[in-house]
Amino acid sequence: MKHAHLWLITVALCTGIASCGNDGSNGNDGSSCTVSEAEDGTLRLVCDDGTEAILPTQPGDTTPADPDGNPSTLIAISDLPEGDTSCPFGGVRIDMGADANNNGVLDKKEIDAERAHYLCHSAEFCAGIFSANDLDTLQSCHTIFGVLEISNSDLQTLSLPKLTQILGTGLGIFDNPALTDVQFPKLIKSAELYINGNDALETLSFPEFEALEGMGYSRGALNISQNPALTDIQFPKLSRTSGNIHIIENDALETLSFPEIEALEGMGYSRNDLNISQNPALTDVQFPKLSRTLGDIRVTKNNALETLSFPELEALEHMGYSSDGLNVSQNPALTDVQFPKLSRTSVNINVADNDALKTLSFPELEVLEGLGYSSDGLNVYNNPALTDVQFPKLTQGARIYFSQNDALETLSFPELEILENMGYIYRGALQIVDHLALAHISAPQLTQVDAWDCSRNESLASFNFASMSGVYGNFTMVNNPNLPQSNIDDLVTQIEGRDGISGSTSASSGNKP
């Protein structure tokens, strides 16, 4: 089969199925195309828009029927819609065949499929900076190079059914108070998507969207923020992005689903964050395939969110600057945080101010590296209901800081060996302070830390630091009223008999005599 390509996006070809014979004598002429026979026996298709095609016939073809009774050759021209497998952007199919029953119509059983020809429309390319005033012009566009900004309009429906990609800066839809319906059914790719401040927008779906990829300094970001009526966001095919995903301050948003996205990988210009914050009705967050990020994950101030799980996430990595890392905070209904496959991170883990949080589980995490900043490491504080903390494989960390987790009774790091933060003194600290119920701390393999502070734990009665050998900064262990002073003295003696304590020692006040 042969494909001829048109360079005009809109052509008025034969509509429906029109049968065209020699000079129109057999069958009905198409509405804007005619067929004639050339001296060499080929058939010439000419359309009103200037489109031409040569359709070779087979030996023995005659048209119309000759005196010997041989059947005439008929042609049928049919429109092909966009999305057709032979013509993705639409076009026409030209079928040929012998009029075996001499009825002047090319019937289906008379079509010779091997002789089918196609005239395919090409993708229409539109370049520029476009607004709501240009929507009529853009209806035929398949590719936009530049910017499409729909803002401060009175639109209720926004639809570009043919658009497949936006190259350049991307798509912005913001501050359209009446907008309820956004339809981009074929959009596959854009540099950036900003959908902000649309008061009436209730659902948002990009069913074919696959990639957020920037060009130059455009990073491929997705920002959906401050849409107070929005309840559902669906990107069922989005699998790759080179920039941020920010879902912020959508008051009615209940579900958030990115079932195919596997990585958040940037282009080196700035962080490539996943930020899900201040969505008070959000109950369901799904990233079932996300395995790697090159930026932060922030899940904060989502009042209705009860569980959080990234089942396939294996690595959280930095790009060489100070980072918030993994930040799960101020989610008052959150009870369970699960990262079952995360094994290595070079950014912080901050879990704070989650009133209902009971379980914190990182069963595969082995290494938590720091960048040299004082807050780098594992920071878990002010989670008043937290009772279960699981880091069974953690061997190396930048810092461990636990504070004001009032219901926590035991804290164990069975494989932890060292706490250091790129050689910065005091920044690879063990800090376990200000707990009401914490009775036992265990890190039997821990050998050295940059600094030490286990203080103001009202119920702390025992610990296991059997391998502890060196503190390269200050050692502080005070105001633990149920912890025998003799146990603390034995620990100090143990450390000083090995690698020693390089800084000051404060370990003799406020503990149990």
Lowest-pLDDT range, 74-78, 347-351, 502-506?
A: 74-78
* Residues 115 and 166 reside in one and the same domain: no
| Mean pLDDT to the nearest integer, 456-477 | 97
Phi, psi (deg, nearest 5) at residue 431: -130, 110
Comparing 6-10, 187-191, 225-229, 472-476, the range with the smallest average pLDDT is 6-10
Same domain, 157 and 115: no
Please give the C-alpha separations between residue 17 and each of 27, 71, 76, 80, 98, in angstroms, as whole numbers: 11, 20, 6, 11, 16
Tell me how far apart the alpha carbons of residues 14 and 16 are, in angstroms, rounded to a whole number: 7
Three-state secondary-structure class, residue 471: strand
Q: State yes or no: pLDDT of 476 exceeds 90.
A: yes
> Using H for helix, E for strand and C for coil, what is the string for 216-236?
CCCCCCEEEECCCCCCEEECC
- Which structural domain range is residue 56 located in? 2-121
Which amino acid type is present at position 483?
L
* Residues 175 and 263 reside in one and the same domain: yes
Q: How confident is the model at residue 313 (pLDDT cuts 50, 70, 90)?
A: very high
- Flag whether pLDDT at 32 surpasses 70: no
Q: Are 170 and 144 in contact (CB under 8 A)?
A: no
Q: Given this model, what pLDDT does residue 4 score?
A: 31
Contact between residue 271 and residue 319 where contact means Cβ atoms under 8 Å apart: yes
> Higher-confidence residue: 1 or 108?
108
Widest distance between CA atoms in the chain? 124
Kindly state whether residues 128 and 275 are assigned to the same domain. yes
Kindly report, residue by residue over 111-164, the tens digit of the pLDDT: 888 777 776 665 677 888 999 999 998 998 888 988 999 999 999 999 999 999
Q: How many structural domains comprise the chain?
A: 3
CA–CA distance, 432 with 401 (Å, rounded to integer):
6
Which of 268, 290, 312 represents a domain boundary (last residue)?
290
Give the residue from 102, 121, 140 where a domain finishes.
Answer: 121
Query: What pLDDT does residue 42 have?
Result: 58
Query: 449 by DSSP, 3-state: which?
Result: strand
For residue 154, the SS3 value is coil
Q: 377-389 pLDDT, tens per residue?
A: 899 999 999 999 9
Q: Is 423 helix (H, G, I), strand (E, B) or coil?
A: coil
Q: What is the mean pLDDT of residues 338-351?
A: 90
On whether the CB atoms of residues 252 and 229 are closer than 8 A, the answer is yes
- Return d(Cα 192, Cα 294) in angstroms, integer: 18
pLDDT band of 34, cuts 50, 70, 90: low
84 and 130 housed in the same domain = no
Indicate whether 110 and 12 sit together in one domain.
yes
Is it the case that residue 62 has pLDDT exceeding 50? no
How far apart CA 388 and CA 390 sit, in angstroms, is: 7
Mapped onto helix, strand or coil, the DSSP state of residue 23 is: helix
Decide: 315 and 342 in contact? Cβ < 8 Å. yes
How many helices (H) and strands (E) the chain has is answered by 2, 50
pLDDT at 294: 80
Alpha helices in 352-392 (DSSP H): none
Token match 């905070």: residue? 329
Confidence band for 242, pLDDT divided at 50, 70 and 90: confident
Instruction: Work out the average pLDDT over 273-287.
Output: 94
- How far apart CA 355 and CA 386 sit, in angstroms, is 8
Asked if 370 and 387 sit in the same domain, the reply is: yes
Of 68-82, 318-332, 482-496, give the lowest mean pLDDT range.
68-82
Calpha distance 202→227 (Å, rounded): 8
pLDDT score at 45? 66
Is the pLDDT at 25 greater than 60? The verdict is no
Q: What is the pLDDT of residue 81?
A: 79
Percent of the chain whose pLDDT exceeds 90: 56
Q: Tell whether 49 is covered by a domain.
A: yes
> Would 198 be classed as within a structural domain?
yes
Same domain, 156 and 117: no
Q: Are residues 335 and 460 in the same domain?
A: yes
**In terms of DSSP bridges, do strands 292-293 and 315-316 run parallel, antiparallel, or are they unpaired?**
parallel
- On the question of pLDDT at 5 being above 80, the answer is no
Q: Are 127 and 116 contained in the same domain?
A: no
Q: For residues 474 and 454, is the Cβ–Cβ distance under 8 A?
A: no
Tell me whether strands 274-277 and 307-309 are parallel, antiparallel or unpaired.
unpaired
Q: End-to-end CA distance of the chain: give it in Å, rounded.
A: 94
> Of 225, 260, 290, which marks where a domain is finished?
290
**In 99-220, at which residue ranges do the beta strands (DSSP E only) sit?**
117-121, 125-130, 143-151, 157-159, 165-174, 181-183, 189-190, 193-196, 203-205, 211-212
pLDDT at residue 224 in the model: 97
**Of 186-195, 268-277, 487-496, which one has max mean pLDDT?**
487-496
Joined tokens for residue 440: 């036992």
The answer to whether position 307 is within a domain reads: no
490 by DSSP, 3-state: which?
helix
pLDDT level of residue 102 (50, 70, 90 thresholds): confident
Helix (H, G, I), strand (E, B) or coil at 446: coil
Query: Which one has a higher pLDDT value, 86 or 392?
Result: 392
In a domain, 163, yes or no: yes
Among the listed ranges 115-119, 197-201, 241-245, which one has the minimum average pLDDT value? 115-119
- Write phi, then psi, for 327 (nearest 5 degrees): -125, 110
Tell me, yes or no, whether 309 lies in a domain. no
Dihedral of alpha carbons 163, 167, 168, 169, sign = positive
Q: For a pLDDT cut of 70, what percent of the chain falls above it?
A: 77
Average pLDDT over every residue of 87-104: 77
Place 289 in a pLDDT band, splitting at 50, 70 and 90: very high
10 by Cβ neighbours in 10 Å (0-12 / 13-18 / 19+) ranks as exposed
Q: Tens of pLDDT along 321-335?
A: 545 789 999 999 999
Q: Using the predicted structure, report yes or no on whether residue 422 has a pLDDT greater than 80.
A: no
Provide the pLDDT for residue 86.
76
d(CA 96, CA 117): 9
Residue 453 lies in a domain: yes
Asked if residue 303 is part of any domain, the answer here is no
Are residue 154 and residue 101 in the same domain, yes or no?
no
From the CB of residue 492, how many other CB atoms can be counted at a distance below 10 Å? 17
Mean pLDDT of 190-208: 94
**How far, in Å, are 82, 92, 137, 338, 483 from residue 365 at the CA level?**
49, 58, 54, 12, 30
How many Å apart are CA 74 and CA 35, to the nearest integer? 10
Q: Does the residue 323 lie in any domain?
A: no
Q: Does the model's pTM come out above 0.95?
A: no
Q: What are the two backbone dihedrals, phi and then psi, of residue 464, each rounded to the nearest 5 degrees?
A: -135, 100
pLDDT tier at 39 (50, 70, 90 boundaries)?
low
Place of tokens 């009971």: 358
Residues 111 and 127 in one domain: no
